């Protein structure tokens, strides 16, 4: 550290300084190489287990049951295991239920959260900070355990074991995050654009509809996708609030102890598919979603 300091103070490029410069460059290159090594190691840590389960999901049930298992791509490819899983009782209805619940959840939470997100990003109003803080606090709460009292209420109201009631619960789960994400999405659109539209004679609603909304759409879509994945993955509330109308994760969970390994592995991989696809599209927005938590 002292040498570096001296090199800065002696303005002339003496051979000594050049040597230090070379050393720094070498160190930088070394650091660069280290970054790649670490990046690849972490990638392997994430991807290898996924590779394991994917190769189990796409082979024959005989191979799944065999031991020892092959590790490299020597495993015969077959859709038999996946087909066996999909043909098992309750799986196709479970998939349909999961998709319906996730779609209702994303529509409902976007519709409810968008106005609140807009208000947070565009207005200064009394109670704004309290509202924001409340949303932050609710988001950090273990909302899923509230499915126990909700189940009792739903039983009494006779809307228990319905995918629509489950969607209501999932909406509560997704709402705080959606509000915060949408508020940052709206905040990233300059207010001046909206103002200009109003100056040229647009009503506030029209300005929102034709200026803000098109610009906010990618962000809203990302948030909606994330909500979809959230609902698709949620298993605790789904198991508590449904009985016959199971969603896919609930169906897999309650059968876990009594099912065979081909069923389990194919199910495990099937549950991951939305994550593998959707995270790719929304990876740039993830920071808006979770990074925003500290703001």
Partner 1 sequence: MSDASPPKRRKGINWAPYLLILPTLIYLLLFFGYPMVRGLLLAVQDEGARLAVLSDAERSSPTSGTLPRGTSVEILDRQANAIDPADLGQTNMVTETWYFIQAQDASGQTVEGWTPETRIRVREQDEEGRPVAGTVRSVISSTADPLTSVYAEPDGGSEIIARLEARSEVQISDQSTLEIWYQIRGEENGQVVEGWAPSRYIQTLGDGSTGRIARGNLAQFTTIYIRRMINDRFFWPALTTTALLIVLIIPAQFVLAIIMALVIQANPKFNSIFLYIFSIALGISDLAAGILWYSIFTQSGYLNSILQGLGLIERPITYLSAGSRHWIILAIWLAEVWRATSLVMVIVVAGMQAISREVLEAAEVFGANLWQRIRHIILPLLRPSLQVALILRTILALQVFAVVIALSGGDVVTVLANETYRQYYDLRNFNVAAAYASFILLLSMITSVFYLRAVRYQEETTA
Nearer to partner 1, 19 or 133 (CB): 133
Structure tokens at 178: 């959606």
> Which of 143, 166, 211, 212 is close enough to bind partner 1 by CB under 8 A?
143
**CB of residue 92 to partner 1, shortest distance in Å:** 18
How far is Cα 241 from Cα 148, in angstroms, rounded to an integer?
A: 8
Does position 13 interact with partner 1 (CB under 8 A)? The reply is no
Q: Enumerate residues 210-269 that contact partner 1 by CB under 8 A.
A: 226, 229, 232-236, 239-240, 249, 252-253, 256-257, 261, 264-265, 267-269
Residue count (the chain): 295
As to burial, measured by CB atoms within 10 angstroms (0-12 exposed, 13-18 middle, 19+ buried), residue 14 is exposed
Q: Contacts with partner 1: how many residues (CB under 8 A)?
A: 117
The distance of closest approach from Cβ of residue 201 to partner 1 in the complex, given in angstroms and rounded to an integer, is: 19
Give the 3-state secondary structure of residue 141: coil
Please pick, from the candidates 13, 18, 19, 38, the single residue that binds partner 1 as defined by CB under 8 A.
Answer: 38
Residues 6+ apart with CB under 8 A from 173: 143, 144, 230, 231, 234, 237
Among 10, 62, 79, 188, binds partner 1 (CB under 8 A): 188
Spatial separation of the C-alpha atoms in residues 90 and 107, rounded to whole Å: 25
Token representation of residue 33: 């190489």
Between residue 59 and residue 78, which ones bind partner 1 under the rule CB under 8 A? 65-71
Among 10, 14, 190, 210, binds partner 1 (CB under 8 A): 190
164 binding partner 1? (CB under 8 A): no
Given the complex with partner 1, which of 12 and 294 has the nearer CB atom?
Answer: 294
**Contacts of 200-204 spanning 24+ positions with Cβ under 8 A:** none
On whether the CB atoms of residues 248 and 86 are closer than 8 A, the answer is no
- One of 106, 113, 212, 220 touching partner 1 (CB under 8 A): 113
């Amino acid at each position: 550290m002292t040498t570096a300091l001296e090199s800065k103070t002696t303005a002339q490029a003496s051979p000594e300084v050049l040597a230090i410069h070379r050393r720094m460059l070498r160190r930088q290159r070394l650091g660069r190489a280290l970054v790649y090594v670490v990046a690849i190691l972490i990638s392997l840590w994430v991807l290898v287990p996924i590779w394991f389960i994917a190769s189990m999901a796409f082979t024959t049930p005989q191979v799944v049951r065999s031991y020892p298992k092959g590790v490299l791509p020597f495993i015969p490819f077959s859709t038999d295991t996946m087909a066996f899983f999909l043909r098992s009782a309750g799986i196709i209805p479970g998939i349909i239920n999961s998709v319906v619940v996730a779609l209702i959840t994303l529509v409902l939470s976007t519709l409810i959260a968008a106005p609140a997100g807009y208000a947070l990003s565009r207005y200064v109003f009394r109670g704004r900070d309290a509202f924001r803080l409340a949303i932050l606090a609710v988001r950090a709460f273990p909302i899923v355990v509230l499915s126990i009292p909700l189940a009792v209420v739903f039983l009494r109201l006779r809307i228990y074991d319905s995918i629509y009631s489950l969607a209501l619960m999932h909406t509560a789960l997704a709402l705080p995050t959606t509000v915060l994400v949408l508020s940052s999405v709206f905040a990233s659109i300059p207010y001046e654009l909206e103002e200009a539209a109003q100056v040229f004679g647009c009503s506030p609603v029209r300005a929102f509809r034709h200026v803000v909304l098109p610009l906010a759409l990618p962000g809203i879509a990302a948030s909606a996708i994330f909500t979809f994945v959230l609902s698709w993955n949620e298993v605790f509330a789904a198991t508590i609030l449904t009985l016959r109308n199971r969603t896919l994760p609930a169906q897999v969970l309650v059968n876990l102890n009594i099912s065979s390994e081909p069923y389990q592995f194919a199910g495990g991989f099937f549950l991951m598919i939305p994550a593998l696809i959707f995270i790719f599209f929304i990876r740039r927005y993830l920071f808006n979603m979770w990074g925003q938590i500290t703001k």
